[in-house]
């Protein structure tokens, strides 16, 4: 009997992969257990519909995972749920709405930890390497990047709480164009890209929370 070490995810993999004739697919189990990403060839929770069919009272992590799957068809349901759970935890740690943080990351990368932009931004949170270094994170590590994004957005929201404009809108402007641009224009800068970015994130946030 293979040791499960109390891990419910590994136990689920064993339960699905086991057949009366073939037994456990040890290679697939090993790869799944040793990596944050579940290889597509491993038949783990294939056809999982509870994420897509969850109703309006679903937990925030499920709602966010559902939007991630819609935004990124290459993302597996287990990956989506694991990343969404990280987002919910990171948002709570920084006093942010989970939908706000999740919508920002979806807009940045569609929850792709390997995303790269022509401007040199990388990872799920699309940090540039200098910004990642300043935040003390590895931008390619989705867990670190999510936590770093939550910390940065949380700091922006806190800094703009006493401004006339909505602090979340200003935080998004700072995340996209930089806090210097927000300061220079005393609000959202008149950049078409930044204004469109803010509108898109707010729209995603609304869909996540079901409004």
pLDDT tens, 145-195?
A: 999 999 999 999 999 999 888 999 999 999 999 999 999 999 999 999 999
What's the pLDDT at 49? 54
- Which contacts qualify for 26-29: CB closer than 8 Å, 24 or more apart? 26/2, 29/2
Look at residue 27 and tell me whether its pLDDT is greater than 60. Answer: no
Sort 207 into a burial class: Cβ within 10 Å, 0-12 / 13-18 / 19+: middle
Residues 6 or more apart in contact with residue 134 via CB below 8 angstroms: none
Sort 152 into a burial class: Cβ within 10 Å, 0-12 / 13-18 / 19+: buried
What's the pLDDT at 1? 41
Query: Phi and psi dihedrals of 95, rounded to 5?
Result: 70, 30
Mean pLDDT along residues 193-210: 94
Look at residue 46 and tell me whether its pLDDT is greater than 70. Answer: no
Mind listing the pLDDT tens digit for each residue in 116-155?
A: 998 899 999 999 999 999 999 999 999 999 999 999 999 9
Q: For residue 62, count other CB atoms closer than 10 A to its CB.
A: 19
Residues serving a catalytic function are 108
Q: How many Å apart are CA 113 and CA 123, to the nearest integer?
A: 5
What's the pLDDT at 109? 96
**Tokens in use for 22?**
């073939």
Look at residue 105 and tell me whether its pLDDT is greater than 90. Answer: yes
pTM of structure: 0.76
Query: Phi and psi dihedrals of 180, rounded to 5?
Result: -65, -40
Q: How many Å apart are CA 128 and CA 194, to the nearest integer?
A: 17
Residues of the chain with CATH 1.10.530.10: 50-209
Among 138, 87, 144, smallest CA distance to 111 is for 87
Mind listing the pLDDT tens digit for each residue in 49-93?
A: 555 555 567 788 999 999 999 999 899 989 999 999 999 999 999
Topology annotation, domain 50-209: Lysozyme (1.10.530)
Q: For residue 94, count other CB atoms closer than 10 A to its CB.
A: 17
Average pLDDT of the chain, as a whole number: 82
Look at residue 9 and tell me whether its pLDDT is greater than 80. Answer: no
Per the listing, tokens 């040199």 go with 120
Query: Phi and psi dihedrals of 103, rounded to 5?
Result: -65, -40
């Amino acid at each position: 009997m293979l040791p499960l070490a109390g891990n419910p995810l590994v136990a689920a993999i064993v339960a699905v992969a086991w057949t009366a004739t073939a037994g456990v697919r040890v290679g697939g189990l090993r790869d799944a257990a040793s990596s944050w990403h579940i290889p597509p060839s491993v038949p783990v929770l294939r056809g999982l519909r509870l994420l897509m069919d969850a109703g309006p009272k679903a937990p925030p992590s499920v709602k966010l995972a559902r939007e991630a799957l819609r935004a990124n068809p290459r993302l597996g349901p287990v990956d989506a749920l694991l990343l969404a759970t990280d987002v919910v935890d990171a948002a709570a740690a920084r006093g942010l709405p989970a939908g706000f943080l999740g919508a920002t990351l979806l807009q940045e990368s569609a929850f792709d930890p390997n995303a790269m932009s022509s401007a040199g931004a990388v990872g799920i949170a699309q940090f540039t390497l200098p910004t990642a270094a300043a935040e003390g994170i590895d931008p390619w590590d989705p867990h670190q990047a999510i936590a770093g994004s939550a910390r940065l957005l949380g700091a922006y929201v806190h800094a703009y709480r006493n401004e006339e404009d909505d602090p979340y809108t200003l935080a998004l402007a700072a995340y996209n164009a930089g806090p210097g641009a927000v300061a220079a224009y005393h609000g959202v800068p008149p950049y078409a890209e930044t204004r469109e970015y803010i509108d898109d994130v707010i729209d995603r946030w609304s869909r996540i929370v079901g409004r």
